[in-house]
Amino acid sequence: MGPRLCALSTQGEAYCQTQGNVVDPSSPPPPLLLERVNTRHRFRSVTAGYGTSCALTPSGQAFCWGHGDFGRLGDGSHESGYVAAQPVPAQTSLRFSALAEGGGDIQCAIAQTGKPYCWGHDEGTVDAIPELPGDCSTFYWQWFIGRGCVVPTPVADSPAFTLISSTAESTCGLDAGGAAYCWGYGGYGQLGNDTSVVAFAPIPVAGGLHFTSLTTGAFHVCALIAAGAAYCWGNNFRGYLGTGGQRGRAIPTPVAGGLSFTTLASGEFHTCGLSTAGDMWCWGSGAYGALGRDASLGDASVPVRVTAPIP
């Protein structure tokens, strides 16, 4: 199951996508089909992963719903095929300030102390979390043991973060000064430290840059500096990095075109940014019209302006 969309109403009610919506970029986008999540709780933030969604209440209590394989719900369950039709509370007394953006089968959140906690795990993922006998281990692969961290578990040797975002197999965060750290699987250079290692604790991203925001795709990461320039690193198979060509980068590399952005957001295999001029630009995989143009035009290894009509 791929990622879906969830949103909050102004009253804090959670709504999630009931099915995939493929948009024809030559026509105005149709309304998304959203269904209200069945719960009495109200939320202040929500994130949607691969079959599992999580949300925070105004007090910072974490709830998750959807697929619970490998501890993805954080409520202590881990049975294969288990699905929570309603939000269930994470098994912790912690209160969180933010949820991780993105995410696969790993869910992460920042505690009110600034420390990151994660639970669940993804196929092929090595999680930077200390060993809890019977629950999770720093050194595992899904096909070797059948359960991940079933409750929120502190990330090992981590600084405090203000933002975290998860890829399919790794996670990155920003500290209060904007320094970026990443951990997990780095085989595509997505840890940004000029290696392809596996990191069992957060390691600094190379280059000494300070970022204001950060977003992750399946195997790539993009971030903004205060001046608005975008940098990306990781897998570049279909132009995911926007740097031109398809060569992967293991350190932050400027996105081509010299554009200045106010916001970036990544899908699995593409990234889009809102420029300071108010235009939307996208790069990476052009499948399903993800770049805001006819899918027959293919991928884009540099930013292309979105031309889809918006009513």
- pLDDT tens, the chain, 311 aa long: 445 689 999 999 999 986 555 555 555 556 667 899 999 999 999 998 778 899 999 999 999 999 888 788 999 887 778 899 999 999 999 999 999 987 667 889 999 999 999 888 644 344 444 434 344 544 333 333 344 678 898 888 899 999 999 876 889 999 999 999 998 889 999 999 999 988 888 999 999 999 999 999 999 999 999 999 999 999 999 999 999 999 999 999 999 999 999 999 999 999 999 999 999 999 999 998 899 998 899 999 999 999 855 55
Q: Which residues share a beta bridge with 199?
A: 184
CATH number at residue 238: 2.130.10.30
Other CB atoms closer than 10 Å to residue 45's CB: what's the count? 18
- Number of separate domains in the chain: 1
Specify the pTM. 0.88
Residue 196 lies in a domain: yes
Residue 45 lies in a domain: no
Say what the pLDDT of residue 138 is. Answer: 45
Residue 282 lies in a domain: no
How far is residue 299's CA from residue 34's CA, in Å, rounded to a whole number?
A: 29
How far is residue 114's CA from residue 101's CA, in Å, rounded to a whole number?
A: 16
Give the domain range for residue 255.
50-269
Provide the terminal-to-terminal Cα distance of the chain, rounded to the nearest Å.
30
Residue 35 lies in a domain: no
Residue 302 lies in a domain: no
How far is residue 118's CA from residue 156's CA, in Å, rounded to a whole number?
A: 10
Our separate counts of H helices and E strands in the chain read: 0, 24
In this structure, is the dihedral angle defined by the CA atoms of residues 48, 144, 158 and 216, taken in order, positive or negative?
negative
Residue 305 lies in a domain: no
Q: By 3-state DSSP, what share of the chain in percent is helix, strand and coil, each rounded to 5?
A: 5, 40, 55
Say what the pLDDT of residue 1 is. Answer: 43
Residue 85 lies in a domain: yes
Residue 223 lies in a domain: yes
Say what the pLDDT of residue 32 is. Answer: 67
Say what the pLDDT of residue 149 is. Answer: 79
